[in-house]
């Protein structure tokens, strides 16, 4: 018997021992079952995380489809000269895994409000628009507009190619330590009515 045949024979015996129920190998069986379950769970979990980041999922609720989606399809994030499109998750869900999981956990509050009908009609949505917007803006400020910066970065901006107002304001914003949402509210979604 050659070396490779001996190795195959030993591997064959090991494989049969691991797959044959036996009182001698319960730990190996538990390990294999745990590994298979872990891979299936992890794959399913990641599939669900990514599925809930699609545009189709985001607008599957009539509340979103009838309100903010209609505003979005008229925005520069939907159609623009460069043809680059940002979808809901690009602006509202972090890319980093840990932060993404935290955001998904916080989204459970949104599911609760969906179930009780808090914003079930366009009129109810409008009644809560200011509160919803303030919550998103506060989150963006807290992360220094992290999701904006996934695509837009001060250090790669060509200020000289921007419109005159942007040429002036972007360097000022850098100097003042401002974050994107401080100036760019209402870019994709209508601003709530002001009380003043």
pTM of the model: 0.75
Each residue of 168-192: b (16+ CB within 10 Å) or e?
ebbeebeeeebbbbeeeeeebbeeb
pLDDT at 5 over 90: no
Separation CA 147–CA 172 (nearest Å): 21
Task: Name the band, by pLDDT with cuts 50, 70 and 90, for residue 25.
Answer: low
Count Cα atoms within 13 angstroms, Cβ side, for 182: 14
Give me the residue spans of the domains in the chain: 53-143, 152-178
pLDDT at 154: 87
Going by C-alpha positions, the residue among 151, 147, 138 that lies closest to residue 182 is 138
Annotated binding site for heme: 58, 61, 64, 88, 91-92, 110, 148, 151-152, 180, 183-184, 189
Annotated binding site: 58, 61, 64, 88, 91-92, 110, 148, 151-152, 180, 183-184, 189
Contact 139, 107 (CB under 8 A): no
Condensed to tens digits (0 to 9), the pLDDT of residues 89-145 reads 999 999 999 999 999 998 888 888 888 999 999 999 999 999 999 999 999 999 999
Token output for 34: 């745990």
Task: Name the band, by pLDDT with cuts 50, 70 and 90, for residue 17.
Answer: low
pLDDT at 6: 65
């Amino acid at each position: 018997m050659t070396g490779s045949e001996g190795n195959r024979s030993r591997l064959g015996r090991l494989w049969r021992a691991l797959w044959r129920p036996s009182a001698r190998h319960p730990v190996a069986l538990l390990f294999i079952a745990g590994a298979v379950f872990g891979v299936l769970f992890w794959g399913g979990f990641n599939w669900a995380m990514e599925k809930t980041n699609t545009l189709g999922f985001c607008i599957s609720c009539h509340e979103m489809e009838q309100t903010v989606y209609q505003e979005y399809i008229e925005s520069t994030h939907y159609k623009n000269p460069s043809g680059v499109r940002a979808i809901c998750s690009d602006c509202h869900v972090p890319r980093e895994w840990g932060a993404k999981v935290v955001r998904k956990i916080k989204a459970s509050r949104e599911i609760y409000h969906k179930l009780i009908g808090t914003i079930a009609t366009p009129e109810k949505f409008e009644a809560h628009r200011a509160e919803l917007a303030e919550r998103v803006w506060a989150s963006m400020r807290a992360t220094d507009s992290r999701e904006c910066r996934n695509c837009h970065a001060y250090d790669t901006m060509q200020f000289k190619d921007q419109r005159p107002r942007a040429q002036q304001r972007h360097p000022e914003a850098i100097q003042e330590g401002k974050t994107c949402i401080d100036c760019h509210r209402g870019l994709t979604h209508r601003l709530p009515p002001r009380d003043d």
